[in-house]
Amino acid sequence: MEHLGLDQNIENNIKKWLSGDYDDATKNEIKQLIDQGNKTELIDSFYKDLEFGTGGLRGIMGPGTNRVNKYTLGAATQGLSNYLNHLYKGQQVRVAIAHDNRNNSNIFAKVVADVFSANGIEVYFFEGLRPTPELSFAIRALGCQSGVMLTASHNPKEYNGYKAYGADGGQLVFPHDEAVMVEVAKISDLSDIKFERIDANVHFIGKEMDDQYLDALAKVSISKDIIQRQKDLKIVFSPIHGTGGVSVPPALARFGFENVILVEEQMVIDGNFPTVIYPNPEEAEALTMALAKAKEVDADIVMATDPDADRVGLAIKNDQGAFILLNGNQALCLLVNYVLTAWEKAGKLNADTYVMKTIVTSYMIDKIAASKGVDCYNVLTGFKYIGEVMTQLEGKKTFILGGEESYGYLVGDHARDKDAVVACCMFAELAAWYKDQGESMYDALIGLYKTYGFYKEKLISITKKGKAGAEEIKEMMDNYRKHTPLNLGGQKVVMLKDYKNATSKNMVTGEIEKIDLPSSNVLQFFTEDGSIISARPSGTEPKIKFYCSVNTVLKDKAAFEATETALDQKLNAMLKDLGI
């Protein structure tokens, strides 16, 4: 191994794994990398410990300290167990565990259950794959103190991960997230991890919990009479080989929809995701088969969920009858408008009702909410912050719905995480509502633009892999802070919000105000015409993301294409000025 010229720390980590009490398959994989002289892979696998971040773990599967495997997940679970047993000292701690369809997810889930049980914790273990939102629901329904979901969400097939949840059913937030990170960091040796399962502490759950969850979703429905009239609405659905196939079809049936057309090839549970490049409903390619099926059957709406069914992609028909993909902002604007309008007609809106979104999600939603007299809260990127506010306001105000531009939505308060299962049902209800009025969802979207302004959003994700990539992303953010652009797309930058420092700087007067949100490595540039660009390194992927938003008046439907072109040109000019 010396001939590879590895850093001493990396070499020490490799030797520790080769000489330690790790299984033979793991050791053989490491030896194979050494024999191949695969220096890059060895560096990325061992240059650091896989970070247990504020949302848990996510990474490429394989041997090594910086990879997802039974040992890194075991260490995470041991640290979480230690924290839970300390926090709830004298109580019987209970946790729920679920997993998606990814390769090894079921094996990893068993390892997690083993470690929890070995630490005297009572485990409620889903008997088969289930969506993330059902885990969030189960934590609350069972009175658990924590929960773990084995998934890497919409990442490529090489990835897996571990989402950690608190007693409210939401992903861990401060101070619990940081406290667990400290405990996980204390696990320095394999001998610190208790892998020996205590069978008496593990209980299997399944259909009974499914029924409770589906019953809770059905209560969210607002327009049952309209669904009855439009029960034959043609819905094409694909779970992209994931957990949505388990829950979405029965949920749609509970709502009353009787004409759900499944993409059968993608109903097959397969962690290799053989029919797509990436199992990400944010990518047009992932909906190729669903769109083909929709064209074949002349569907009214197309929906596809990611592997753990917490995100959903949507396609609708335009004026020419062609299917177009909606982005997360457009879908959420339609959903907010429908739900608030339906609640308003039902006499359910009052001063105590509210909606919620993230700071990088369309500000058209703030306008829609204001027009209905409903508060709209803006939180940091990450649905856990929506869940946190929901818990803080529980019993004080009524949560209607929340969402984020990355295709995650929650309608109803049955969970504390984004829920693509209920979102699919509500998007179908929305489509039925408009069809019942002789209007299309496309017409409804144009109507929103005419009423509130044409908001055009675009997300640019730049991937920077490995150690060098992480350093490059850090350098980009440092440079934006040191050399803040004064103009973007021909417009003066009038405000800089730096959420890492919790400051908002007026670029004209120099005045600085505090931002009342937790620290997060996000920068937002506001221009004089109301455009916004937000720069944010991803917390779960080797990427830096740029969220762009511009808006203008849409005079009428005939001006749509010309107005969109002008907004696209403005967006591109702003990005160019940022060096993107």
* 45 a catalytic residue: no
Contact between residue 329 and residue 362 where contact means Cβ atoms under 8 Å apart: yes
> Which listed residue (81, 136, 153, 223) is catalytic?
153
Integer angstrom CA distances of residue 239 from 105, 279, 310, 420, 488: 17, 9, 11, 10, 40
**CA dihedral over 167, 168, 169, 175, signed as positive or negative:** negative
> Which residues does 404 contact at the CB level (< 8 Å), separation at least 6?
328, 332, 357, 358, 360, 361, 381, 382, 383, 386, 418
**CA dihedral over 189, 190, 196, 198, signed as positive or negative:** positive
End-to-end Cα distance, the chain: 40
**Structure letter (DSSP) for residue 67:** S
Longest CA–CA separation in the chain, Å: 74
State how beta strands 323-326 and 312-317 pair: antiparallel
Q: Which residues of 9-40 are buried (b: 16+ CB within 10 A; e: fewer)?
A: ebbebbeebeeeebeeebeebbeebbeeeeee
Classified as helix, coil or strand, 20 is coil
Contact between residue 239 and residue 248 where contact means Cβ atoms under 8 Å apart: yes
Q: Which residues are catalytic?
A: 153
